[in-house]
Structure 1
Amino acid sequence: MTARRRPPLQLIVGSPAHAVVACATGIARQVSARVSAETALHIDALPALSLPGLSLPGLSLPGLPMPPSPPGLPSPVPLSARSAHVHFTDKLFGASPEDAAAQFERLAGRMPVTVTLHDVPQPSNGTALARRVAAYLRVVSAARGVVCNSEYERQLLTEHTWPRGGAGVHVIPLPVDPAHQPPRPEGSRPVGAGHGLPGIPRRRGEVALLGYFYPGKGHAEVVDAVSRLRIGLTVTAIGGAAPGHEHDLNAALENAGRAGVDFRATGHLGDDDLLQRCREATVPVAAHQHFSASASINTWLAVGRRPLVPDTAYTREMQRLRPGTLTLYERPQLSHAIENAVLDPASTWLEPGTALGPDSGAVADAYLQWWGGAR
């Protein structure tokens, strides 16, 4: 690497199972590789920062000694940070939007912090919108620099949270890292016609959605669309309930049963099992009712699938970024889109050679270039 300044500490907050944490971890790994030094620190949660200054396990800040590891944990990584970068969504940083903003402000009060915003507030947040807008405004006001993952999210931020700050917000897309996979099944067959390639069994008539279940993710709409078709399709949530939404998932399973639809959830899957299930699904769908940047879409692409997605400003932007990777549908036409995918399974797979960039390496390069001017 040429003479770049050392990048900020990649402070990754939250469970590794969370899509934002997984994304941040992949980018941080590439940043570290590019500077030939460890730059990342992962913690489950920011502590209640009531002590003077800031002390985190495994982190040494200017003027503060390296804290000891908690019992049973390995020795801390010898990191020294004069600035940090975090991927922020309020649900990862605190029990409430206000708590999340306060945690970020305490961190930013100790050192310069740049931030990538996820789950940017939008009107679909309903009664929570005002609180989330206030929290995100506190975050962007405290940050040294701000990144959004799409032009659409930058527009949301400007319209609803930070009217005077939009011109200073940088856009770096979420990465897509193609998974090692067998070739696309040749002549993928309609429902009931058997299997694709050996080792890639096709699940008979399965419409699948990927990631945490929560209201608004599109499961209810897919169940309704499948109930209208009456061709024996099942609906699968590849993943489990988002924290706090276990009751909502149980209610959705019961509602689907009353509608005559077999709706199932796999629960959390390891990486290999998740990718296999993504390849086995008959019809991949990302039916979010209120899109922001979507790791679900990118995971479908990573395994070679071309998902059905509603026609929105965000999905049109992603179609321009990665042409030929999505099948857009008008929301009232979801049943028709699913039926077409069942009749033409090849349409649910990416064409060989389809460009999926930027990957995590290219995204890391974009961050390194941006940090050079943001601090």
Structure 2
Amino acid sequence: MPAEAPPLCLVWGPPGHGVTDYGADVATAMARREAATRIVRVADLPGALAAVRPGERVHLHATDRLLGPSLEDAADALEQLAAACRLTVTLHDLPQESDGTGYARRVAAYRRFFAAAEGVAVNSAHERMLVSEHLGDVPEPRVIPLGTRAAAPHPDAAAAVPTDLIVLIAGFVYPGKGHDVALRAAAEAVAALRAAGRPVGRAVVRALGAASPGHDGDVAALRARATELGADFEISGFLDDAIFAASLRAPGIPVAAHEHVSASRSMLDWIEAGRRPLVVRSRYSVEMDGLRPDTWTLFRPDELAARLTDAWEHPASTWLTGGRSLAPTLDDAADAYRAWWDEGSA
């Protein structure tokens, strides 16, 4: 008996949003494997309802902020979509204690997501544990790790080594992303290098991206904090894909210091660009280090200044050696989704 056609891959949200773009990447990988794959991009619930056919299998990558202006609206939207089709969903940004005053409402919304869908996937064993720890008695989700795109060619790591100690942080600027931690550590590292008689220039933290909506005040606060520390904070603003990719390969020390990570596409951005970033140690990053060993350098928060000092003195340590596998890839992820759907998902 022939296998059922793959689900409609519904890509919900604006280009440039990490969850939306990753959903599009997986859908495109599925279409490379199976020409029958149907991909539809939508901006809102009316668009989603217009795209689906009654009884059709549909898959969606989602987080609450994409689905509605409030948590309750987001849950309402997912329930209405699930009532119109056979819906499976990959959930991103799982609830955790760091959600603060919104924690209880996020838990309630995500429990409704689980109840509405025929099956739920997450992107890491860490997230599966977040589900168990915070959502209680809901079905166990399938774990399908984030897949990588093809790795970029490895450039000459010895070229264009800057005198300044430049920390590069990829993605939107928002609280908890690690820019403030990096500023303190960069200032400490420069002070240590100067004390050792090394010809270091400025301490610079450069954000490769724009402020997250509503967080322009955080940029001003980071600039003020940098001035207090004798450092510089720079922000690129929005970068298109080509410029963003080039910026990841620019001289500097790549750092991922998310304080409350659920799963991180920006970690993959770095290794796809041929970089070996410094990544703060967490349950998630330890899991990813096991999945793709020797592609990043893990650090504890109190070690960052020393790690930056070492990286400034040995810039080749921030680049991957050629030929290293970055599997699982997007094609691997597409195969894992196909296997899950063929099992019946739930």
Structure 1 and Structure 2 fold alike (TM over 0.5): yes
The correspondence for 1:140, drawn from 109, 114, 138, is: 114
Q: Deviations over 1:26-82 (max 9, x none)?
A: 1101112222134111112224x9xxxx742xx2523xxxxxxxxxxxxxxxxxx71
The correspondence for 2:256, drawn from 264, 286, 289, is: 286
In 2: Cα distance, 1:41 partner to 1:9 partner: 7
The secondary structure found in structure 2 opposite 1:280 is coil
In 1: Cα distance, 2:134 partner to 2:71 partner: 16
Question: What residue number does 2:134 align with?
Answer: 160
CA contact (8 A) 1:209 1:238 kept: yes
In 2: Cα distance, 1:213 partner to 1:156 partner: 24
Gaps of 5+ in 1: 63-80, 193-203
Question: What residue number does 1:277 align with?
Answer: 247
Q: Which runs of 4+ in 1 moved over 6 A?
A: none
CA contact (8 A) 1:11 1:86 kept: yes
The one of the two structures with greater contact order (alpha-carbon pairs below 8 A, sep at least 6) is 2
State the aligned residue count: 335
CA 1:189/1:264 → structure 2, altered by over 3 Å: closer, same or farther? closer
CA 1:186/1:211 → structure 2, altered by over 3 Å: closer, same or farther? closer
Aligned partner letter, 2:219 = L
CA contact (8 A) 2:124 2:145 kept: yes
Q: Deviations over 1:244-266 (max 9, x none)?
A: 22222222222222322111111
CA contact (8 A) 2:52 2:85 kept: no
Q: Does 1:221 align with 2:181?
A: yes
CA contact (8 A) 1:94 1:103 kept: yes
Question: What residue number does 1:351 align with?
Answer: 321
Q: Does 1:28 align with 2:27?
A: yes
Question: What residue number does 2:196 align with?
Answer: none
Q: Deviations over 1:210-252 (max 9, x none)?
A: 0111100111110111122235121100000112222222222
Question: What residue number does 1:7 align with?
Answer: 6
In 2: Cα distance, 1:329 partner to 1:321 partner: 17
CA contact (8 A) 1:190 1:343 kept: no
Question: What residue number does 2:44 align with?
Answer: 45
Q: CA deviation at 1:165?
A: 2.3
Aligned runs of 1:328-339 on 2, under 5 Å? 328-339=298-309
In 2: Cα distance, 1:252 partner to 1:339 partner: 22
Aligned partner letter, 1:9 = L
Question: What residue number does 1:92 align with?
Answer: 66
In 2: Cα distance, 1:355 partner to 1:179 partner: 9
Question: What residue number does 1:171 align with?
Answer: 143
Aligned partner letter, 2:128 = R
Aligned partner letter, 1:210 = A
CA 1:308/1:161 → structure 2, altered by over 3 Å: closer, same or farther? same
Question: What residue number does 2:123 align with?
Answer: 149
Aligned partner letter, 1:148 = V
The secondary structure found in structure 1 opposite 2:270 is helix
- The structure with the greater share of residues assigned to helix is 2
The secondary structure found in structure 2 opposite 1:23 is helix
Question: What residue number does 1:61 align with?
Answer: 53
The correspondence for 1:184, drawn from 155, 161, 166, is: 155
CA 1:250/1:214 → structure 2, altered by over 3 Å: closer, same or farther? same
CA 1:29/1:282 → structure 2, altered by over 3 Å: closer, same or farther? same
Q: CA deviation at 1:96?
A: 1.4
Aligned partner letter, 2:129 = Q
Aligned runs of 1:97-112 on 2, under 5 Å? 97-112=71-86
In 1: Cα distance, 2:251 partner to 2:70 partner: 36
In 2: Cα distance, 1:340 partner to 1:188 partner: 17
Q: Does 1:16 align with 2:8?
A: no
The secondary structure found in structure 1 opposite 2:4 is coil
In 1: Cα distance, 2:27 partner to 2:270 partner: 22
In 2: Cα distance, 1:189 partner to 1:343 partner: 13
Aligned partner letter, 1:205 = L
CA 1:5/1:187 → structure 2, altered by over 3 Å: closer, same or farther? same
Gaps of 5+ in 2: 191-199
The secondary structure found in structure 2 opposite 1:237 is strand
Q: CA deviation at 1:373?
A: 1.2
Aligned partner letter, 2:44 = A
Question: What residue number does 1:71 align with?
Answer: none
CA contact (8 A) 1:11 1:84 kept: yes
Aligned partner letter, 1:100 = A
The secondary structure found in structure 1 opposite 2:206 is strand
